[in-house]
Amino acid sequence: MKLFSSFYNKVLSWAAHPKAPRYLGVLSAAESSFFPIPPDIMLMPMVLAKPKSWLYLATLTTVTSVLGGITGYFIGYFAFETLQPLIVQWGYGAKLEQAKHLFEAWGIWIIFAAGFSPIPYKVFTITGGALSMALIPFIFASIIGRGARFFTVSALLAWSGPKMEPMIIRYIEWLGWIVVGALILIILMTQV
């Protein structure tokens, strides 16, 4: 059964859809403030589908992510007390505490690193607002940190993606099952 190869082809067809950039922008903005799915899940197949558009797609993702980050900042600034119980309930309590400690230790520099952190970016944007971080440095750090991530991913895929695609297609079923196995293993390890 060709489960992952048909899914891969479907995702690439969605990525080539004329409205896909609009959806990418909305996803990118939402992820920076409240939504749990990172924009890379759309950015990567879109760059693979249209490698010559990598610069535009990286710019779009960066700009909308920073705008969503500003929204997250204001959520933290104005509504943190109300939202904190929900953040804990949604399973981000430990990540929130970790982000607070990182802010205390690194200040504005943590926003640069947040672009590549395993802690969701929204946790940093909301925490930045809750801690009343200066907004202008927050925006500049977000542009640099998020831009570095999305431009790096896009450039690498535009350069190597078309060359690697035959190998990806050849081994997609194996890769898909390895990812599923790794996810199951991670879930089991977190339950212990």
What is the tens place of the pLDDT at every residue in 45-85? 889 888 999 999 999 999 999 999 999 999 999 998 888 88
The answer to whether residues 137 and 107 touch, using CB atoms and an 8 Å cutoff, is no
Residue 184 lies in a domain: no
Q: State the average pLDDT over residues 84-99.
A: 82
The answer to whether residues 126 and 86 touch, using CB atoms and an 8 Å cutoff, is no
Give 21 or 96, the one with higher predicted confidence: 21
Residue 178 lies in a domain: no
What is the extent of the structural domain holding 94? 13-163
The answer to whether residues 54 and 47 touch, using CB atoms and an 8 Å cutoff, is yes
**For the chain, how many structural domains are there in total?**
1
Q: Is it the case that residue 111 has pLDDT exceeding 60?
A: yes
The answer to whether residues 153 and 44 touch, using CB atoms and an 8 Å cutoff, is yes
- Report which of 172, 175, 174 is spatially closest to residue 8, judged by C-alpha positions: 172
Residue 185 lies in a domain: no
Residue 187's Cβ-side half-sphere holds a number of Cα atoms within 13 Å equal to: 6
Residue 4 lies in a domain: no
pLDDT at residue 104, rounded to an integer? 83
The answer to whether residues 66 and 124 touch, using CB atoms and an 8 Å cutoff, is no
User: Ranked by mean pLDDT, which of 9-13, 24-28, 31-35, 57-61 comes out on top?
Assistant: 57-61
* Residue type at 183 in one-letter notation: L
Q: State the average pLDDT over residues 101-123.
A: 82
Per-residue confidence band for 33, with pLDDT thresholds at 50, 70 and 90:
confident
Residues near 43 by beta carbon (within 8 Å), at least 6 away in sequence: 24, 28, 57, 58, 61, 150, 153, 154
pLDDT at residue 176, rounded to an integer? 66
Residue 189 lies in a domain: no
How many helices (H) and strands (E) in the chain? 8, 0
Residue 171 lies in a domain: no
pLDDT at residue 186, rounded to an integer? 66
Residue 186 lies in a domain: no
Residue 181 lies in a domain: no
pLDDT at residue 78, rounded to an integer? 94
Q: State the average pLDDT over residues 1-28.
A: 77
Q: Is it the case that residue 1 has pLDDT exceeding 60?
A: no
pLDDT at residue 138, rounded to an integer? 94
* Residue 178 neighbours by CB distance under 10 Å: 11
Q: Is it the case that residue 35 has pLDDT exceeding 90?
A: no
